[in-house]
Structure 1
């Protein structure tokens, strides 16, 4: 079964976010089913891991927290990565 264009777009944006997160010292692993990034800080307990997916909405593609709140536009993975780092490091 081949991937749909929507799945390719989602994978592309999640890959860009993963690269930004890894530059900031976090671990971002792409999970296939469901297609999400599992994000954790290797310096902290794995219990502080979070998942983020990428969804199309009326204004374009957006990164979304596991609880449904939007992180930010997929066109700006740098800003989304900064927000994710802020949340993960605030949970100390």
Structure 2
């Protein structure tokens, strides 16, 4: 049985990241179980990445599909920029 409050926390943080990515023109789908974001590069629809978030001793972090953490959840804008760089160097602006 999933941990309710923990899943709601993940969904909240992923929702904040989804909003930042949508503002940059990136296609995102919030998956409910387990909470994760499917992020698709609008310039290369065949390329996508799944991002989730995880609680670690230092706080909550966004995490790539292969398990590496890449940004604190307090900075969804910075996380969105990192994802865009992975999609080939695109940045906000």
Cα root mean square deviation, aligned: 1.6
Normalised to the residue count of structure 2, the TM-score between the two structures is: 0.87
CA distance in 1, matches of 2:59, 2:43: 34
Ranges of 4+ aligned residues in structure 1 off by more than 4 Å = none
Give the corresponding residue for 1:31: 31
Change (3 A) 1:4 1:75: same
Q: Deviations over 1:17-69 (max 9, x none)?
A: 00000111101110112211000022322x21000001000011000000001
The structure with the largest helix share of the pair is 1
Deviation readout 1:49-91 (Å, 9 max, x if unpaired): 000001000011000000001120001101111000100125x
Structure 1 length as normaliser, TM-score? Answer: 0.88
Correspondence for 2:77 = 78
Equivalent positions of 1:11-30 (< 5 A) are 11-30=11-30
Which residue number in structure 2 is paired with residue 63 of structure 1? 62
